Structure 1
Amino acid sequence: MPTTLPASHADLLGRPLFAHLATIRPDGAPQSSVMWFDWDGELVRFTHTSTRQKFRNLEHEPRVALSIADPDDGYRYLELRGRVESITPDDAEASFYRSLQERYGNVYPIPDADVRVIVAVRPERFVAVGGGSVEASGTLAG
């Protein structure tokens, strides 16, 4: 079944909202972090550094989940489950990170630009809750 973003919740990926990213630690325990993200219509992208535990989690286990709550209605949210499709270095100026700073209105110096990576996640399932219904689409692989 193809992955389809429910139209009722597409705005949550288009707006500069905070996402809670859940990964799996090497010992099997979950770890969740608040992240900035970008959605291009196919992939969710975020940045991290190659020196932190979250990066090691992604290398060990590429399955992730993101949840994005509607700040105007705490009972409306979107959950996205997927797999890391790629991890690539950001450029020397951390241009992708800078684009996220601009998207979220919080621009500051990037002292760790040399270890910044761009993580791209391909959704395998969306779960949309609130707004009068619960919709799920896609399938989980593995």
Structure 2
Amino acid sequence: MAELNEQIRDWVVAPNFWHLATVNQDGSPQVSPMWIDVEGGFIVFNTAIGRVKEENLRRDPRVSLSCLDTVDPYDRVVIHGRAVEFVEGDEADRCMDRLAKKYVGTDRFEWRIPGERRVKVLVEPTRVRHVVGVEPFRRGRLG
């Protein structure tokens, strides 16, 4: 598991919007803006059961998350990882309420759809990068 250093953890703990990329069944990317947080060394987010991202992650756990500074879009964080746990029921509902408190200041997630079931997803980070400016080329990639 890649470590979330203090600087990266600060990005995750702040109410920043992150883009979550998963892999569709046909291999194409699927991207969703997400609320996220951290639990221990894991990234956590929440979605409804039956959403494309949830189905994609149960089939292929690879995930990429990215966030950029809204003041300086050349300052950004990218986290690669894999979904390692899916938690349903009361714990998932409490997680969604915590995220709502963090992002919109309400005690409960107020946009639930009747009959919707939530799932908390824990992601194990495998690679974490903080990039400011133009990312350098990887060795051996220049013509």
For residues 26 and 61 of structure 1, the distance between their equivalents in structure 2, rounded to whole angstroms, comes to: 9
Instruction: Give 1:10 deviation, angstroms.
Output: 3.5
Q: How many residues of Structure 1 are paired with residues of Structure 2 in the alignment?
A: 133
Instruction: Give 1:37 deviation, angstroms.
Output: 0.6
Change (3 A) 1:112 1:24: farther
Runs (5+) with no aligned partner, structure 1: 136-142
TM, length-normalised to structure 1: 0.82
Indicate the percent of aligned positions where both proteins have the same amino acid: 32
2:2 alignment partner, SS class: coil
Q: Counting strand residues as a fraction of each chain, which structure ranks higher?
A: 1
Runs (5+) with no aligned partner, structure 2: 137-143
The structure 1 residue matched to 2:119, chosen from 105, 114, 117, is 117
Structure 1 equivalent of residue 37 of structure 2: 38
Q: What does residue range 80-95 of structure 1 map to in structure 2 within 5 Å?
A: 80-91=79-90, 94-95=93-94
TM, length-normalised to structure 2: 0.82
Structure 1 equivalent of residue 22 of structure 2: 23
2:3 alignment partner, SS class: coil
Instruction: Give 1:30 deviation, angstroms.
Output: 0.5
RMSD (CA atoms): 2.4
1:74 alignment partner, SS class: coil
Q: Report the residue type matching 2:119 in the other structure.
A: V
Give a deviation string over 1:95-140, Cα, whole Å, max 9, x none: 111110000025325235751000000100001101x6869xxxxx
